[in-house]
Amino acid sequence: MIPLSVLDLATVATGSTPAQALRETTELAVIVERLGYHRLWVAEHHGMAAVASSAPSVLIAHLADATNTLRVGSGGVMLPNHSPLVVAEQFATLEALHPGRIDLGLGRAPGTDVRTARALRRDADLSANSFPDDVVELIGYMLPRDEPTGLIFATPGSGYLPEVWLLGSSTYSAQLAGMLGLPFSFAYHFAPDLLDAALALYRSSFRPSILLEHAHTMVAVSVLCAPTSEEAKWLAGPSSLSVLLRRTGQMGLLPSPEEAAAYPYTEEDRALIEHATSSHLIGTADQVHEGLVELQRRTRADEIMLSTRAHSLTARIASLSLIAQTWDLVGA
């Protein structure tokens, strides 16, 4: 069995608050560590009422302090929003505080809408054309080396190197990760169509680097597990509805199962949801386990990351606990 990890968005559900969502993510980190999961990542999103993880480096520091062995990191930091030097100093600091437990996943999407992206970058240019150079620059600040006089270096920097990943939902970052010799994580949980092509391109493009000798892949997949398939589908209703609302420009809190069940779906709505959630694994422990085994067989992934969006922390914990039991994780 390959390692399983967790992606958590610090979800703000109806009736909740961002503060409660952040407390629940912290509680979840402690529990998934005990269950035997390998990593927990949080993602950078802005301008989304249902997501409280707008500042990953701050949240990662809190999660690392609340746990002991769990790897914690970003899935990811949207690098075009930031100066590479700022990100290098943030994550070198985290690595210095929690050596061997910090992951820096990097993405090139803005993680938000156009107006918010402009406010973040203070620039009218929203392209990510410099992303490859920015990744190289960022890593260069943290590589072990003497601090040469007259050159910029991160503080702390030299030698405080987290595990650096590239994230992607297309073939672009897959090829870049291969060329730079970095591990690659594919966002199958929201972009299923290019999974096989991206992984194949990553492996064919891979060149060993001082950071990684062999290609290493992770696939993120949406899952929701419950004692019965009917209950799992009921609990997955809010996530399905949020996909529909987000794609129609209605950005609100994550709805409840009752709100999702009562929503007046059209046939077009149902078709959109069915396509958008076609890669999701929803069902009993045995059904989800079978889906994860088939996904690993299909992709030859070295790790799988589970994204579970549910209205309550209780449902998320129950889902991850059931999967841990069928996967024979150490703490299950």
Q: How far apart are CA 129 and CA 141, in angstroms?
A: 20
250 within a domain of the structure (yes/no): no
* DSSP symbols for 284-319: -HHHHHHHHHHHHHHH--SEEEEE---SSHHHHHHH
For residues 151 and 248, the model is more confident at 248
147 within a domain of the structure (yes/no): yes
Asked if the model's pLDDT at residue 39 lies above 60, the reply is yes
Q: What pLDDT is recorded for position 41? A: 98
Q: Which residues of 236-255 are buried (b: 16+ CB within 10 A; e: fewer)?
A: bbbbbbbbbbeeeeeeebbb
9 within a domain of the structure (yes/no): yes
Q: What pLDDT is recorded for position 125? A: 65
User: What pLDDT digit, counting tens, does each position of 234-292 carry?
Assistant: 999 999 999 898 887 777 899 999 999 999 999 999 999 998 899 999 999 999 999 99
245 within a domain of the structure (yes/no): no
Question: What is the pLDDT confidence band of residue 118, given thresholds at 50, 70 and 90?
Answer: confident
270 within a domain of the structure (yes/no): no
User: What pLDDT digit, counting tens, does each position of 207-228 carry?
Assistant: 999 999 999 999 999 999 999 9
**For the chain, what is the mean pLDDT?**
92
Asked if the model's pLDDT at residue 145 lies above 60, the reply is yes
Q: What pLDDT is recorded for position 112? A: 63
Do β-strands 217-225 and 4-8 pair in parallel, antiparallel, or remain unpaired?
Answer: unpaired
216 within a domain of the structure (yes/no): yes
CATH number, residue 90: 3.20.20.30
Closest C-alpha to 231, from 163, 160, 314: 314
The percentage of the chain sitting over the pLDDT mark of 70, rounded to a whole number, equals: 92
Q: What pLDDT is recorded for position 250? A: 78
Tell me the two tokens of residue 107: 């993405």
Taking every pair of Cα atoms in the chain, the longest distance, rounded to a whole number of angstroms, is 66
53 within a domain of the structure (yes/no): yes
CA distances from residue 85 to 91, 104, 138, 199, 245 in whole angstroms, order as listed:
10, 14, 6, 29, 36
44 within a domain of the structure (yes/no): yes
Least confident range from 107-116, 163-172, 229-238: namely: 107-116
User: How many domains does the chain divide into?
Assistant: 1
Q: Cα(first)–Cα(last) distance of the chain, in Å?
A: 14
User: What pLDDT digit, counting tens, does each position of 66-80 carry?
Assistant: 999 999 999 989 999
Can you tell me the mean pLDDT for 117-141? 79
Q: What is the pTM of this model?
A: 0.93
Q: 110 is in which domain, residue-wise?
A: 4-223+282-326
